[in-house]
Each structure stands twice: as structure tokens, then as C-alpha cells.
Structure 1
Amino acid sequence: MTFTRFVLSKRETTLTVVAGLLTLLGLAVVYSFPTWGGLGGMALFAAAIAVGGFPVARHAFRELWLSRSLGINTLMVVAVVGAAIIGEWAEAAIVVVLFSLGEALEEYSAERVHGALEGLLDLAPPVALEILPTGESRETPVERLAVGDRVLVRPGDRVSVDGVVRAGQSAVDQAPITGESIPVEKKPGDEVFAGTINTSGALEVEVTRLAADNTLSRMVVLVQEAQLRQAPVQRFIDRFARVYTPAVTGAAALVAVVPPLLFGQPFWGEQGWLMRALQMLVIACPCALVISTPVSLVSAMTNAASRGVLIKGGRYLEALSRVRAFAFDKTGTLTEGRPVVTDVVDVCTCGECPEDCGLQHAASVEAQSSHPLARALLAEAEARGIAVPGAQDVTLLSGRGIKGTVNGANVTIASHAHFDEYVPHEPSVCRQADELAAQGKTVILVQHDDEVCALFGVADTPRASSRQALAALRARGIHTVMLTGDSPTVAEEIGRHVGIDEVRARLLPEEKVSAVAALAEEYQIVAMVGDGVNDAPALAQADVGIAMGGAGSAQAMETADVVLMSDDLAQLPFIVQLSRQARRTVTVNIAFALGAKVVVFALVAAGLATLWMAIVADVGATLAVIVNGMRLRR
């Protein structure tokens, strides 16, 4: 919405426009008709004060009567009435118009930020193509869809619901939710989110969340709640303003009375001390000071939300700007969180087995297991296009391995540490296994009848974004630490690969909490990054708890202070940089707001300022801090 449309859509701002036109007309009459224009101008100025000042007077009454406090509106009413009493009708009217214009600018900036947030909800279509039991489809409002219903998402359409793909394959642009710049391939079993864009093939999606509880809706609710959680500097400014306004009112009364009584100075007139006291009231109006912090913090949080990062309050944004250490969980945070086969070593010496026979036999037996390592072997066989025959007589070996029969041959699969219990093997195989283990990999051996035919190295691989993100944090002077329950060998290898500063391994959940507390003693402000589920105690211990993958986890969105909607660690340097920019902007805004008042106070003391100059300075300072704060939205 443009500022003009905003002004005309509100009753109070429309009154401000009318008051402004009356004031301009009054000035024209006064300067065009010197002989009789004074009386006509005064009537027009009085009308402008009545029209534009009505909302201000109403707010002042509420401040005094309901809140029992002296606020900004009360200061303005006193200044306007005082100016009118001493005959400065033109200045009184100008004060009303400029003050109301400043208030309108504040409200407009808040609506712009709020509108950007509400715009997220508009990303999700209001209707969906529901698939009926007959196979036909019809348009249905998303509010009427129930969990378990199915909808059709055509190529080029926005996804209307949170759900799971049941049929079809496509690439989905998830940038509105997760901030990911590259569309993500989706196949049956994958999650999709309302507001994302289906770029290619048609998808049949089963609804998993109601419209009121989808990811977009939860994002908006969380950011709206975050805006109510004030940062420490914001709470200080609000407390300061509550004391400041009555103090300034009392000081202005003394300025008006003391010099005339004690020193015989003039009380009335343009250079009288009453006028200076009124100027002081106008200058002292803390509009710019009060708005300087919230406009900056809310703009920054809205910017982050548009990029797939939810910051749940100004205090967390402020804390992020002062973080000196980041602690990371390993599994699922620095790494992908799922094992993959990194090495396939053929050690068969019979000369009769085809290439990849060891992987084929292993995948055949592991096909009947749900163990993560089994899934890794099956995925590797599928990636290599290996046919997997069925296995018979499959038996688990007490948590140490698995065995079965493939094409009449006995096949045993176990970790290297347990393999000698079933099949003794050559020292050369042990050496190769030890080399892989030294790299932090889990080593699996497969035996075909009486001979070891292959060994596999399996590891949880680092995320592609980990190394770059950690380097960017280090460049910003932040110490990085891995906290993991894994073995030192595995942890050190992952740490070396991603370039982390410090590794602490074999930690129980309660020891992670103690580790975060110890880091806080050394580095003062600490952030902890995890999945928001297993790391909940450590996230709570940190000054800022950051959960990853919030788009697919309601628990992560509820437990953490900051939520990365995607699994992209590259968002961490972004939010650190954004928080530091927000802190600098708040500092500049406060300094400018106070500095402008000091300068104009000096002009008032010297008798060089007029009442309208004072209000221009106040409105100008307010507008400047609003514009400066709203730059953080970009």
C-alpha cells in the first residue's frame, strides 16, 4: 500500500490531511490580505487545530484518565493550547499537522512491516484441487480439507497444503519457506509445504496438517509473538520514556516561570519564556527515541523470516549480535545425519566372483533389515544399478551383524570388531579395515561361504554447507565447537573435514549442558545449534538456541529461540551479520534522536528556534530513524 492510499484509508490520517489544507489556506490568507487576513487566518488555523487536534486530544485524555500517565500526546496538547493562548495560532496549527503527520508515518512503517509478514500467508492458495474417491478433482477451500485428504498440484501451481507426496515426481521451489535457492526434488514419501511452487511434474499430495496449522501459519504466528518480546535496550527505552515525559513537563514549567519571576524576563510573546517552554515540550517529545529500537528490530526479524529464519524475539536478535562462540551438535547438524557408503573394497581372491559381488550379497541380506547401515548398503547398490536377489534364512546376530543365504551361498555381514567371532580373516584385510577406521568410518565386512569378499567404509558425511559456514563465522571472530556423543576418532575426523575450532566428544546429554555452561564462562554469550529435539537441554542452556530443519519439525519450531526452516548452515553467518547490522542501526538511531534534541535545545536556549522549527526537528528525527530502521527489511 502506498503512503497516499494509507492516509486516505484511515479516519485520523484523513483528518490530518484536512488540517494541513486548512493550515495552508490560513497561511495564504494571512500573507495575501495583510489588512483583514489576520482574523480570517486565525479562524482557519483554529479550524485546523480542532480537526487535526481532535485525535491527539482524545489520546491525551486516555493517557491521563485511563493510564494515569503523561505521554507524548499530552505534551503536544499542552504545547498547542499554550501557543494558542499567547496568540501564535499559525504555529499551533503547524504543530498539530506536523505531529499528526509524524504519527501517521510511524503507523505506516508498522503496517508496511506487518504487511510483509502477512504477505507470507498469501503465498498459500486459498483453494486446492481435491482428489475425490471417484478419481475426479474439484476446487475446495483449504479450510475444508481434513488430514488424510488428497490434493492434486499441477506443474507451475503453488502447493496449497502441508502434506506428503503420494504419487508423482517433481522439483519444488521451497525458497518462500526455507530460503533454499535451488528447487528440491520430491518423490513419494517426501514432505511438501504450503506456499512452495511445483515447477515441473504433477504431484498427488496427502494432507498432513490443517490449513490453520500449516508451516506458513506457524511462521507468521511465531514472528508476531516474537515482536512482543522486547530486547533489553527496548525495555530500557520504554522505562526511560515513562520517567522522561513527566520530568520534561516539570522542567518546562520551571523554564516558563522561574526566569520571569526571579530575573524579570518576559513571560508572553514570541521571545517570552512561555514560548521557550512550549518549544521545549515539543522538542522533548520522545517519538524518535521510542520508535528507534522497535522499527529496527521488527524490520530485521521480518527480513530473516522472508529468508527462512525465524527469530523469536528482539532479545535473541540482540544476543546474536554479541555471540562469541557457537556450539554445534554433530549428527544431523554438521553432518547429513544418515550413514552412506564411502568405500567399497573388493578383497575376494577366488577369481570367480563378478565385480561388486560383495555389495550384491550384502544388499540381498540387508534388504530384510531396518538398520541405518543396512539402508546405506541398499542405497549404494541401487546407485550402482546392482540387481539384488532375494535372501533366505536371514538371522540377526545379537546386534552384531546379520547372516543369510543368497543363491545357495552362506553370507555373513558384521562390523570389523565382531567379525572374528564368525569368520577369521587375513591380516591384510585387517590392515585395510584399520585404515578406514582411522578415518572415522564404520567398517563392515561381508563373507561369502568361507571367504571375506569385500569390506565397506560407512560414514555420516558432512553437510556441503558446513565448512563454508564455519569459515564465515570464524571470519566474524566467533569460536566454533563441536559437542557430540560420538567417539573421538569419528568426531575429530568430521571436525577436521569441516574446519571446526574445537571438538569435545563422548558427551552424554547432561555433559553437553555442562559444556555449554563452561563455554559461557569463557566466551560470555554462546549460541547452540542442533535439531531442536535431542539437543533440547543444551539449546535451553545456551543464550541463543538455534534449531535446524524447522519446516518439517513442529517441535523444533516450539523449543528453539531461532529456527532455520531449512538445513542450510549458510544461514548462520547471515543472521549473525543481520543481528550486528540491527544493533548498529539501533545505536545510530538512538544517538541521532538524542543528538537532534540536544542541538535544538541549544537553539531554544539561545532564543533562535520557533515552535514550528521544534516540531519539524522532532518529526524529521522520527522519520529519519524510521527510514534507517526499515532499511533492515532488505
Structure 2
Amino acid sequence: MSDSSPAVPPDPDANRTLELRVPDMDCPSCAGKVTNSVERLEGIDALEPQVTSGRLVVEYDPTATSEAEIRERVQAAGYAIDDDSSASELTVSVPDMDCASCANKVANALEGLEDVSAVETRPTSGRVTVTASEGADSGAIVAAIESAGYEAAPLADDAAGSIGDERAVWRSRRALGTAIGGVLVAVGIALEFVVPGIDPLLGTVAGRSYELSHLLFIAAAVVAGTPILRNGYYSARNRSLDIDFLMSVGIVASVAAHHPFEGAMLAVLFSVAELLERFSMDRARDSLRELMDLSPDTATVRRADGSEETIPADDLEIGDTVIVRPGEKIPADGTVLEGQSAVDQSPITGESVPADKSEGDEIYAGTIPESGYLEVAVESEADDSTIARIVRMVEDAEREKTDREQFIDRFASVYTPIVVALAVAFALVPPLLFGASWSYWFLVGLTLLVISCPCALVISTPVSVVSGITSAARNGVLIKGGRHLETAGETDVLAVDKTGTLTEGDLSITDVIPLEGADEDEVLRRASAAERRSEHPIGQAIVGYADEQGVGQNGSDSEPDDDHDLEVSNFEALTGEGVRADVDGVTHYVGKPGLFDGLADLEHAHATTDGGATLSGMGYETTPQCDRECCLDVLTEVVPDLESEGKTVVVVGTDERPIGVIAVADRVRPEAEWAVSRVQEQGIRVVMLTGDNEGTARAIAEAVGIDEYHAELLPDEKLEWIDRLDDGGPDADDNRVAMVGDGINDAPALATASVGIAMGAAGTDTALETADVALMGDDLTRLPYLFELSGTANGVIRQNIWASLAVKAVLAAGAPVGIVTVIHAVVIGDMGMSLGVTGNAMRLANVEPETPDDHP
């Protein structure tokens, strides 16, 4: 049915969204510089820096600013904008690419294509991302990957989350060939070494006798070694000196040099090692698949006519109403419209206790209602849900190599050619120069050839990083890359924000003390009028309390009388101090007591009768008409007393005088003291940085067990303290400083710290995009878990690296004297160590968060 109504032209004044590609904006610090530069423009309504993808999304008012001005501000921050819209990305599934050697072959094959500008291989997930010019032939890209010896298939947009190949390793064609080869070797060994008397002679060639066992060994080398030889051929084509090429040379040379037993053993054992390595890698991939399986495939939608329809979850649109019954997974982020239920949010936040959800509450895709029926209004598309972003970021974490990983890559590029050269030298030099046995030194060279491949060494770091990051994600901690996992484990100092981190951030008004001709209602009314445009939590608390008391500016249940309407203009936020605004034509200030230094002559400040009565109720001696000394008492005695109770004090006044004092309190999180003590037990120094007053800071620090705190800090002063803590003093080495905050107000400090940790990031785009680590729930117990996991991960990585190097060194030293053979090199040096480092990395999945209940 067509709509005959005329089309409505777009509103030229409506807000617009601009997406810019800023490729060099690849860290939180970069994002902070770009956003700070763009925020200077008038009309910027929202900024979303997406560090992982190098994009900046800007929502702006075209009547106040323009696209050209936004671009100019980005460039003024020192970052170029990539306007090449002709480039596109293609993600290809390459399930058999499960090691660094495989990845190098695939990358070499793709680099020869003219249309390809960048190649990103991710062996842990079995995927390749290719950046190519618009209109590039995807078939040519797939063909190039296949020319390297690997099956490949482009991933559709709706399958971008596919990880590797879920087919059973032990039922593959290679497993069958390996089994047949193993049987042939076993029979050959029995004939040659166990019962040689029944090993029939098949004939003599060039004076050398060949028994049936020799034929069986050659057949085993062919059957089990065919995949190796095939991969070795592709390695040679792509000029890749990798394990497949080296093993292929070893197998062919062994058979050609009349050592079929060694060639057969090399083929069978190496093939078994590859299957076991693939099996171990699948275990690592399973942890990624578990994250992807959290979101349901289908959703039940209520249509406008009241009917219900089951559709793919990917087809949900913003504004749809979905029906979720107990036990079903919620298909999209949204808000509860109807019903109530306890919802298991552990897939997102890691919290084991279900959260009660009812009308108006926010809810996340992948979470599960345990009881009760829910109707949810969809507020994000499937690929933009919190769980989808988590999955993308966990996958992207593999892209960024840690410092150790980069070192290992450089080491391997030097180590392998040197050992290969030594292998050739040992095989040729003794026989040629000293007349030594060709057979003996050939086997020595062959053994060194096997040892030369650094497979276990190369995978020791990435498999540990993936295991640690996916384990953390399952427990509600999102780590944005291996570098951040590594740095968190080396943290020396933890800088902690107070509000919203150590405290719950749910502020409430505890005291209202009127002064000089005002009453409580007047103080609240004027404070809320000035604060109504503020986004600061304290200002919002004042506005909310005034509305509850019915004295708020357009905030009570009933509209205020005209006599109570206040005209507010010239609002200005005073960074780190408070706010200023003209209320009924008079400039008012609402902020810290220090804001009023020099603004008023206290000699002319007199408390009112009501003020005196209020003070009397607090234990201060006053008279019905309090003199100026009483006002001095308020600012010099009452304020410190309130602060000593852990309350934040806000003074309300004009240029002439203060008219009232408001005290705000915030509850300390129940788990804060336990979390701080557990972090300190791990050898990390905890320092609290807050913009709050000295008294409140002291009270909170004492309550949670923090010995060092710094109060009344402006945002730039917090940055200075991060730098000071990082320096560690004139006689100390530089520290690694982690900063934990709410992810928005503390963004500059989070970006400056070695590791920025955002609290309560679930559903928060800014925190998810800018923080190095995001604690998805408001749960401080995840903080000691993060440091424990990161420290354990660093230990596992060190163990893997040094164990790999030590085993290689021992095997290399034993080969020339005949202690180490080809079998030892394959079983211990390749298969054993690859399984060892992978199994060691999998231990990270056993690191679980603790809670105060675990240690009563």
C-alpha cells in the first residue's frame, strides 16, 4: 500500500551526525586530545571516540557549527582525517590458520595483490581482515589465501563473529592419514626391531637391501606426511622459512638419504603434534565462541496489532517491543516497558547475584530473566549492543601485540635462520672436512632442523593473552588488549577516584543551613535553579532533593507559583569549583566553600533567626538574632565539622554574601574496604585522588583503609598527581600507575595513567571506547581480580617463554653428541612444548574473582 502524502523535506536545522576516520587516534590519550579540541566548538552535542576502529562520531547542531569546523579542530589536535572512502575491509575465515607460521604464509600470499593495502591475520580466531580498494575482487583475495594452502571463505556481515572451525579435529582427513601412518610405522617397527627374523627382503637396489619394514616406513611418510609436504610446497612458493617447509625438507631428505624410519617418525609425530596443537587452539577459540553464543538467534516481537512474531535477532530495529519469558535470553539492549523479574546479568557484569528489573530499568542483550515476564523496548541494533561491542573488543584485543610478543617475533626472525644454518653446517662440514659418518651427522643436522622452528616460543604469548582476556570477559572485566593485560600485571600504584568508585555515587542531601535573611526553602530553590543545567552529580542531587521538597524550579509535582518562578541566565560551570548563574538578575554561586574566598565580606554576614535555630539544633550557641560572629562560626566551625563526618559541603551565595550551606553525603561501597585491602596485599600502593574537600577525603580514606590521599584536586591537578606517582620520585624507577574512575568525569586522568580502568561501563559507550579496562558492573571486587589475573598472566607468559628457550637450548646442545634424536626434537621440542605452553595458558581460565564472603 503506497503512501500518497507528500514527502516531508529534511529539517536543515536538525542535529546531524558526522563520522570521521582518524586512523592515528589509536589510544585513550589520543582520543582525549581529539575530543578536547572538538569540544571547544559551540553546538557539539555528543562525541564518541572509537579508539579500536580509529573513528570519531560527532553529533552537532549545524546552526552553531559546521563539518568543516569540526574537521579543522580534529586536525588542530594533530591528527589527520582519512577521507579515502574507496577502501573497504573484507574479513575471511581461514580455520586452518592456527599458528604464527600459517599466518605468515597467508600474509605473504596476500601482499602480492595490487588492490590490497593492509593485511591483518588473527590465527587465534582463524580470521584474516584485508583492507582493499573499493570494488576489489573478493574471489581473488580468497584465491590468494588458497594459494598458500588454506581453505578460505569470506564472512558475511551477519557472520562476522564466526570464529575458526568447529569441526572435530580427530575426525578430520588429516587425523585419518595420521592414524594410518601410525599403524604403518608400528608394524614396521615390529618387523625391523622386535621380530626382525620375519621381516621379508623385498630386493636390493644399488647394493642396499630393502625389507618390508622399509617400504612400510616410506608409505607412512607418504600417507602421514602428505599434508606436511603440501604445506611445505606452499611455504616455498611464498618464501616462508617456517615449520612446514623445514619438516618437509626433513622428511624428503630422510627418505632420500636411506633413513626411512626417521622420515616416517618425523611425519607421524609432527602430524600428531599439529593435531594436538589444533585441538589446544580450539579450546582457546571455544572461549571466544562462548561469548558469541550469549546473544540469542531469534526474538519474539509484539507488533502494533498485538500479534507476536518470531524473527532473527539481527533483524530487530530500534523501537521494537520484544517479549522475553523466564529462561529466555534477552535479544537486545533496551528498557523494560512492562513486567518485573530477577535477571542474571553475569554474562555482562560478572555479578553472580541476579538484579531485580522492573518498568523503566535498563537491560542488556544476552542476560537471562530467571522469573517473570518482560516486555522490552529495543534501544540498540544487534551489532551495537553491549555484548556485541564486548565480543568485538575481545576479538580486536588480538590485533595489538604486547611488548613481549613483538620481542619474540624479532627473536624468532633471527633465531630460525641461525639454527637452520647450523643444521646445514653440522650435516655437511664434519663429513666433508673430517671424513666423519654421513649418516650420523645427517641425523644431527636433521635434529637441529626440527629444533630450529620456534613454534612453541611464538605461540607462548598470544595464546596466554587470548586466554586471559576471554577469561576476564566472562567475569565482567573487559581488557582492551594484550598490552593492557601485561601493564595491569606490572602495576605499582593504583590511583582511585572517590565518588562513584569507593562510594556508590548516589548522593543525598543531609543538611540545609540557611543564613542572612533566607530560609531552607529559599536556599534550596536558588541552589537548584543555578544547578539545574549542571551535569555534576552533586548538582543533580541538589536539584532532585529540591524537587522532592516541592521547591524546585519547575521540579515539583505541581508547578510552582509565579511568585516562585526564578529567571536563570548566564549559567557557567566553574571547573572543579562549582557553578555560577544569574538568578533573577543577581549573580549566584553554588560550590565549594573556597569559592567564596574574597567574594564576601564576612563582617557583614549575619545569620537569621531560622539560621540560629538550625545551628542551635546542631549544638552551637546562638541568639534569636545571631551576630556576625555566628556566621563566622558557620564557615569556620560548622563546615569543618560536616566535612569531618565525610560529608561534602556546598555553599550557596551571591557576590555579596553566602546565604546558606548544603551538606551532601555519599555512602561507601560495602566491598570497598575489602577490595582495597586485597589490592594492597598484592603489593600495590593505593592512593585516593579526589576533588572533594580535605575532611570528606580523610573520612572516606580512613573508612576504606587508604593511608595516602590528595583532596580538593582540579582535573588538571589530578593529571599532575598521576605524573608524580608515575615518576616514583628522584631516586626511584618509574612506576606503572593504574587509575580507576567512572570513565567520564575522570577521562583525562584515565587516559594519562599507564592503565585506565572504568567502573560500571555496562551500557556506557564512552567508557567502553576510551578505557583500557572496563569493569562492566559497579563491583569493586573485580579490581583485585583484575590485578591477580594480570599478574598470573604475566607469570604464565614468562614461564612459557623461558621454558621454550630452555628446552630448545638443551635439545640443541644434546643433538651433536647423539643424546637428542629427531624423535626427541619432535616429541619434546615441538609437540611437547606447544602443548605445554597452551595448557599452561589455559590455567588462566581457573582464576576466579573472590568476594568478601569468601573470606569472612
Name the TM tier (shorter chain): 0.7 to 0.9
Instruction: Give 1:595 shift.
Output: 2.4
User: CA–CA distance in 2 between the matches of 1:548 and 1:11?
Assistant: 49
Q: Structure 1 residues 533 and 59, CA, compared in 2 at 3 Å: closer, same or farther? A: farther
Asked whether 1:319 is paired with 2:484, we answer: no
Q: Structure 1 residues 139 and 312, CA, compared in 2 at 3 Å: closer, same or farther? A: same
**Do 2:300 and 2:323's aligned partners in 1 also have CA atoms closer than 8 Å?**
yes
Residue 82 of structure 1: which of 253, 256, 260 is its match?
A: 253
Question: Aligned ranges for residues 116-515 of structure 1 at < 5 Å?
Answer: 116-268=287-439, 272-341=440-509, 372-374=540-542, 377=545, 392-393=560-561, 394-396=564-566, 424-426=610-612, 427-429=615-617, 431=619, 433-434=638-639, 435-442=641-648, 457-515=663-721
User: CA–CA distance in 1 between the matches of 2:350 and 2:617?
Assistant: 46
Instruction: Give 1:288 shift.
Output: 1.8
Task: Name the amino acid aligned to 1:35.
Answer: P
Instruction: Give 1:206 shift.
Output: 0.6
Task: Name the amino acid aligned to 1:529.
Answer: V
Residue 34 of structure 1: which of 199, 217, 225 is its match?
A: 199
Task: Name the amino acid aligned to 1:132.
Answer: R
Residue 215 of structure 2: which of 17, 21, 43 is its match?
A: 43
Q: Structure 1 residues 475 and 107, CA, compared in 2 at 3 Å: closer, same or farther? A: same
Q: Structure 1 residues 560 and 4, CA, compared in 2 at 3 Å: closer, same or farther? A: closer
Which residue pairs with 1:621 in the alignment?
833
Instruction: Give 1:210 shift.
Output: 0.7
User: CA–CA distance in 2 between the matches of 1:389 and 1:615?
Assistant: 79
**More off after superposition, 369-378 vs 246-255:** 369-378
User: CA–CA distance in 1 between the matches of 2:176 and 2:395?
Assistant: 28
User: CA–CA distance in 1 between the matches of 2:817 and 2:398?
Assistant: 42
Instruction: Give 1:549 shift.
Output: 1.7
Which residue pairs with 1:569 in the alignment?
780
User: CA–CA distance in 1 between the matches of 2:531 and 2:339?
Assistant: 27
User: CA–CA distance in 2 between the matches of 1:46 and 1:277?
Assistant: 20
Which residue pairs with 2:804 in the alignment?
593
User: CA–CA distance in 1 between the matches of 2:293 and 2:607?
Assistant: 62
**Do 1:72 and 1:245's aligned partners in 2 also have CA atoms closer than 8 Å?**
no
What are the ranges of 5 or more consecutive residues in structure 2 without an aligned counterpart? 1-162, 203-209, 514-519, 533-538, 551-555, 569-578, 584-589, 597-604, 621-637, 653-659, 729-733, 847-856
Which residue pairs with 2:169 in the alignment?
7
Task: Name the amino acid aligned to 2:227.
Answer: P
Percent of aligned positions that are identical: 42
User: CA–CA distance in 2 between the matches of 1:380 and 1:389?
Assistant: 8
Instruction: Give 1:598 shift.
Output: 3.0
Q: Structure 1 residues 215 and 56, CA, compared in 2 at 3 Å: closer, same or farther? A: same
User: CA–CA distance in 2 between the matches of 1:138 and 1:36?
Assistant: 75
**Do 1:339 and 1:376's aligned partners in 2 also have CA atoms closer than 8 Å?**
no
Which residue pairs with 1:526 in the alignment?
737
Residue 271 of structure 2: which of 100, 116, 122 is its match?
A: 100
**Do 1:415 and 1:442's aligned partners in 2 also have CA atoms closer than 8 Å?**
no
Task: Name the amino acid aligned to 2:611.
Answer: H
Q: Structure 1 residues 441 and 397, CA, compared in 2 at 3 Å: closer, same or farther? A: farther
Q: Structure 1 residues 369 and 99, CA, compared in 2 at 3 Å: closer, same or farther? A: same
**Do 1:299 and 1:630's aligned partners in 2 also have CA atoms closer than 8 Å?**
yes
User: CA–CA distance in 1 between the matches of 2:786 and 2:244?
Assistant: 37
Q: Structure 1 residues 400 and 281, CA, compared in 2 at 3 Å: closer, same or farther? A: closer
Instruction: Give 1:4 shift.
Output: 12
Task: Name the amino acid aligned to 1:63.
Answer: S
Instruction: Give 1:29 shift.
Output: 4.8
Asked whether 1:580 is paired with 2:791, we answer: yes
Task: Name the amino acid aligned to 1:311.
Answer: I
User: CA–CA distance in 2 between the matches of 1:421 and 1:130?
Assistant: 62
User: CA–CA distance in 2 between the matches of 1:263 and 1:374?
Assistant: 93
Which residue pairs with 2:815 in the alignment?
604
Q: Structure 1 residues 121 and 60, CA, compared in 2 at 3 Å: closer, same or farther? A: same
Note the alpha carbon deviations across 1:229-265, whole angstroms, 9 max, x for none: 1111111111111111111111111112222233332
**Do 1:125 and 1:159's aligned partners in 2 also have CA atoms closer than 8 Å?**
yes
User: CA–CA distance in 2 between the matches of 1:115 and 1:369?
Assistant: 51
Which residue pairs with 1:20 in the alignment?
182
Q: Structure 1 residues 587 and 392, CA, compared in 2 at 3 Å: closer, same or farther? A: closer
**Do 2:199 and 2:213's aligned partners in 1 also have CA atoms closer than 8 Å?**
no
Q: Structure 1 residues 273 and 289, CA, compared in 2 at 3 Å: closer, same or farther? A: same
User: CA–CA distance in 1 between the matches of 2:651 and 2:437?
Assistant: 101
Instruction: Give 1:219 shift.
Output: 0.9
Asked whether 1:545 is paired with 2:756, we answer: yes
Which residue pairs with 1:353 in the alignment?
none
Task: Name the amino acid aligned to 1:631.
Answer: R
**More off after superposition, 466-475 vs 509-518:** 509-518
User: CA–CA distance in 2 between the matches of 1:326 and 1:148?
Assistant: 42
Q: Structure 1 residues 511 and 366, CA, compared in 2 at 3 Å: closer, same or farther? A: closer
Choose between structure 1 and 2: higher helix proportion: 1
CA RMSD in angstroms comes to 3.5
* SS at structure 2 position matched to 1:482: strand
User: CA–CA distance in 1 between the matches of 2:429 and 2:265?
Assistant: 28
TM-score under structure 2 length normalisation: 0.64
Note the alpha carbon deviations across 1:158-198, whole angstroms, 9 max, x for none: 21111111222222111111001111121222211111111
Question: Aligned residues, how many?
Answer: 594
Task: Name the amino acid aligned to 1:428.
Answer: S
Note the alpha carbon deviations across 1:368-404, whole angstroms, 9 max, x for none: 996523466489999xxxxx98574244597899x9x
* SS at structure 1 position matched to 2:168: helix
Task: Name the amino acid aligned to 1:302.
Answer: T
TM-score under structure 1 length normalisation: 0.85
Instruction: Give 1:48 shift.
Output: 2.4
Asked whether 1:71 is paired with 2:257, we answer: no
* SS at structure 1 position matched to 2:665: strand
Instruction: Give 1:61 shift.
Output: 3.1
**Do 2:643 and 2:693's aligned partners in 1 also have CA atoms closer than 8 Å?**
no
**Do 1:479 and 1:501's aligned partners in 2 also have CA atoms closer than 8 Å?**
no
User: CA–CA distance in 2 between the matches of 1:282 and 1:308?
Assistant: 42
Q: Structure 1 residues 518 and 610, CA, compared in 2 at 3 Å: closer, same or farther? A: same
**Do 1:146 and 1:207's aligned partners in 2 also have CA atoms closer than 8 Å?**
yes
Note the alpha carbon deviations across 1:456-505, whole angstroms, 9 max, x for none: 85312222222211111111111112222222233232222222232222
Q: Structure 1 residues 69 and 124, CA, compared in 2 at 3 Å: closer, same or farther? A: closer
Instruction: Give 1:573 shift.
Output: 0.8
Which residue pairs with 1:408 in the alignment?
none
What are the ranges of 5 or more consecutive residues in structure 1 without an aligned counterpart? 346-357, 383-387, 404-413, 447-453
Which residue pairs with 1:409 in the alignment?
none
